[in-house]
Amino acid sequence: MLTPLVPTALVVAAGGKIPGVEHAFQNGGWGMPLLAVLMITPPLVAIAVARARKRRGVDMYIRRIPGIDAIDEAIGRTVEMGRPIMFTFGLAGVGPLFFACLGVLTHVARRAARYGTRLFVPQRDVEVMAITQSAVRECYRGEGRLEAYHDEDIRYLSGEQFAFASGYMGLAHREKAAACFLFGSFAAESLILAEAGQQIGAIQVAGTTSNEQICFFITACDYTIIGEEVYAAGAYLSRDPVQRGSLRGQDIAKGVLLAVVIVGAVFASLSIADMTGDWIPYRTAWARWLLPPRQG
């Protein structure tokens, strides 16, 4: 027999409890809700502060990571050689990672428009393609070089993983790109894309949060931006107050979480273990304060 779907509001009105929320507040505990507030508040406050500063013409400070210099160096090389730039998001769809990488692309697009260098951005996702075309077009318009923008330079190759990788390789070889930027999400095709740039002698800068693929980029690319540095690079280059504030606030929230872990480790180290060696849940007062154990 199928269980009828009951709206959450009706469950609460009838005296029921929401899964997860019930767990956080079990037995009258308020440590976990407090921790949640301490982790959610810093990003929200930092975003509000960043937006207020942006309205006054001041950007929230973010440390310049070394990968930014590598990006500018690669762009400069394309200008010297008179050859185009390649940029790919890999398998990334519309999401936080894509918008962080879009910040890097807009920086590259502005420089390409300013210096008269052609920019190719092959695509595998139609939604990403539409957003990318609009963003790059605005970059060219902002630099006063709208006539140099061509929709066909942001072309759809294939939705299939390896068909897209093959199309990327062919485009890179035909256009003889001088610089290749690989920012986004990647899987088994990562080394195929990076090898394409190596074969044509392009300088390559990669950035991804895909832990399994970082080793391939480190091996085949000239510089690799690792993990969450991708978000830092996107926020720094785009100067978007929401991205900058979110990045700053998340760092503060991580500090709060780290402090909780350290306090928990200290409490656990000072507690007296039982001689049997059996693990006893909620052994420390710190753990019991965060989430009181169920009775019975």
- Answer yes or no: are the C-beta atoms of 12 and 18 closer than 8 Å: yes
In a domain, 38, yes or no: yes
Burial of 86 (0-12, 13-18, 19+ CB in 10 A): buried
pLDDT at 20 over 50: no
Question: What are the phi and psi torsion angles at 130 (to 5°)?
Answer: -65, -45
pLDDT at residue 6 in the model: 42
pLDDT at residue 294 in the model: 64
pLDDT at 87 over 90: yes
Please check whether residues 194 and 73 belong to one and the same domain. Answer: yes
With b meaning 16 or more CB within 10 Å and e meaning fewer, what string describes 98-127? Answer: bbbbbbbbbbbbbbbbbeebbbbbbbbbee
pLDDT at 63 over 70: yes
Please check whether residues 79 and 226 belong to one and the same domain. Answer: yes
In a domain, 20, yes or no: no
CA distance 97 to 70: 20
Out of 238, 257, 286, a domain closes at 238
Please check whether residues 198 and 293 belong to one and the same domain. Answer: no
Please check whether residues 161 and 90 belong to one and the same domain. Answer: yes
Q: Would you say how long the chain is, in residues?
A: 296
Give mean pLDDT, residues 180-198.
Answer: 90
pLDDT at residue 54 in the model: 85
In the chain, how many domains are there? 2
Q: Tell me what percent of the residues of the chain surpass a pLDDT of 90.
A: 18
Q: What is the pTM of this model?
A: 0.75
Give mean pLDDT, residues 176-180.
Answer: 90
* pLDDT per residue as tens digits for the range 35-55: 788 888 888 888 888 888 888
User: What single DSSP character describes residue 190?
Assistant: H
pLDDT at 25 over 90: no
Please check whether residues 164 and 197 belong to one and the same domain. Answer: yes
Residue numbers of the domain that contains 295: 28-59+242-270+278-296
Give mean pLDDT, residues 105-126.
Answer: 91
Please check whether residues 52 and 156 belong to one and the same domain. Answer: no
* pLDDT per residue as tens digits for the range 215-234: 888 988 889 888 888 888 88
Please check whether residues 183 and 37 belong to one and the same domain. Answer: no
Strand locations in 176-246, DSSP E? 179-185, 203-208, 223-226
Strand locations in 91-222, DSSP E? 119-120, 179-185, 203-208
